[in-house]
Amino acid sequence: MEHMWDVPAVGYYKINVHCEISTVPSAVGNSVAAGVIIRDRGGEKAWGAQGPMNHLTEEQAIMAGIQAAVVHAKEKEWELTHIETTHRGIFELISDQDQFIIPEELLEAFRLFNSVHANHQVQEAQDPIVRKISLIPDHMNSVAIYLADYGLHHSHDLVELPGKTTVGNLQYLLDRDMGLVFAEPGIELVENMGLGEVIDDAPPTPPPNRKRKAEALCIECGSVGMHIPARAFRASEVPSVALSHPAFAHARKGKAKDYETYSFYDNGAFTRRAIEVLNSGALLQFHPSFGESELNLEAHVMNGFCVKDILHHACLDTLGMVQFMLEDSFAQAPADGDHDSDLMPYDQVEAALDFDDAVVPVLVEAGMPGASVAVIKEPGFGASCS
């Protein structure tokens, strides 16, 4: 079963130690710091120390912290100690010193550690083991890790924390190791997908201005060319015509909103361009409605085009693209007498083919008065009657 921290056996004091190393110096200039704490069986803090050890390696700093805790325990006559660390190398060296070669930089630290146990304790056969050491995971060493991190970022020197003295959130971690606090609830952040009602939201973006600044129709020829730029018109020459009053006299109620996509419409009135086109009279060739005082936009012109469609294309200068669709393809051809025939008369054909004896055949219907017999003579053939 997994715990936050295991209390020591009866009569023992537990020592937790940790070293924090940073490749970038902290704000106070520390790159190596150690934290060590001694607790009794009730989980109460009996002693602690934290602070920088910038001149030591990680292994040397851990051994220095263990040595300081063991010396303090000896002064308090806490003979039974249980050491816990997350550093596998230190754990193996202390527990099996005869199986490993102690690194040269750690020889003095190990000799001092061994001496404090060998020279100050006479162990008898019935006495319990004085020294214990264990390798634990990080979550069971959280208090020592916090002290080391606190010393790395806040302390200028290695300091002791006697008795129940705490720093920062140390007391909370001590209570948590004993299970005396509530677990922090997991807060799930739900992404805002924009569903539901929006309160006090920003106003919607106004629609783009569809007013088109373009050239007017040619007043003289009525074409859709770019003869007169719009900027050539002075403001005094363009009358103010409201689209929603006389212009919609023939439209049904609420129809004005249907013209918002047309280029001649500008918030209930004709645009400047539309006024110029209507005043030019160039659209009268398509429908007489363009000359009336009340413009019926829904009036049909030809081939599915209404007055509104022609005015829309005229304001966009695209009337030339659809003008061929506004012409009647079934217009009546002029009378025979109105123009000269392109066909050659028969007498000219006769002279050209040298058919002197040819007679124009006459179609005679049976029973009609005045019927005659048509005789055809051709060179090389005899006469025949029918």
pLDDT (tens digit, 9 = 90+) per residue, 112-153? 999 998 888 655 545 667 789 999 999 999 999 999 999 999
Q: Which domains does the chain have, with CATH numbers?
A: 13-177 (3.30.420.10), 230-326 (no CATH)
**Lowest model confidence (mean pLDDT) among 223-227, 318-322, 365-369:** 223-227
C-alpha span between 190 and 290 (Å, rounded): 60
Handedness of CA 276, 279, 283, 285 (dihedral sign): negative
Predicted local distance difference test score (pLDDT) of residue 243:
43
**Lowest model confidence (mean pLDDT) among 117-126, 163-172, 325-334, 372-381:** 372-381
Higher pLDDT, 2 or 105: 105
pLDDT (tens digit, 9 = 90+) per residue, 296-333? 888 888 878 888 888 888 888 888 888 777 776 544 44
Q: Identify the H or E element spanning 276.
A: helix 272-280
The rounded mean pLDDT for the chain is: 76
**Lowest model confidence (mean pLDDT) among 92-96, 234-238, 278-282:** 234-238
Predicted local distance difference test score (pLDDT) of residue 302:
81
Q: What is the mean pLDDT of residues 85-105?
A: 93
Exposure string of 184-220, with b = 16+ CB inside 10 Å and e = fewer, is: eeeeeeeeeeeeeeeeeeeeeeeeeeebbebbbbeee
Predicted local distance difference test score (pLDDT) of residue 380:
45
Predicted local distance difference test score (pLDDT) of residue 89:
94
User: Model's pTM, two decimal places?
Assistant: 0.50
Helix axes 307-315, 272-280, angle to 10 degrees: 110
Predicted local distance difference test score (pLDDT) of residue 273:
87
Predicted confidence band of residue 377 (pLDDT cuts 50, 70, 90): very low
Residues 316/267, Cβ–Cβ less than 8 Å: no
Query: Distance between terminal CA atoms of the chain?
Result: 131
Predicted local distance difference test score (pLDDT) of residue 359:
53
* Coil, helix or strand at residue 301: strand
Instruction: Say if residue 51's pLDDT is above 90.
Output: yes
pLDDT (tens digit, 9 = 90+) per residue, 252-276? 445 555 788 888 888 778 888 888 8
Predicted local distance difference test score (pLDDT) of residue 376:
42
Where on the phi/psi map is residue 43: left (φ > 0), alpha (ψ -120 to 50), or beta? left
Predicted local distance difference test score (pLDDT) of residue 295:
80
Predicted confidence band of residue 246 (pLDDT cuts 50, 70, 90): very low
C-alpha span between 140 and 379 (Å, rounded): 133
Tokens of 46: 């009996």
Tokens of 381: 């053939």
Predicted local distance difference test score (pLDDT) of residue 236:
41
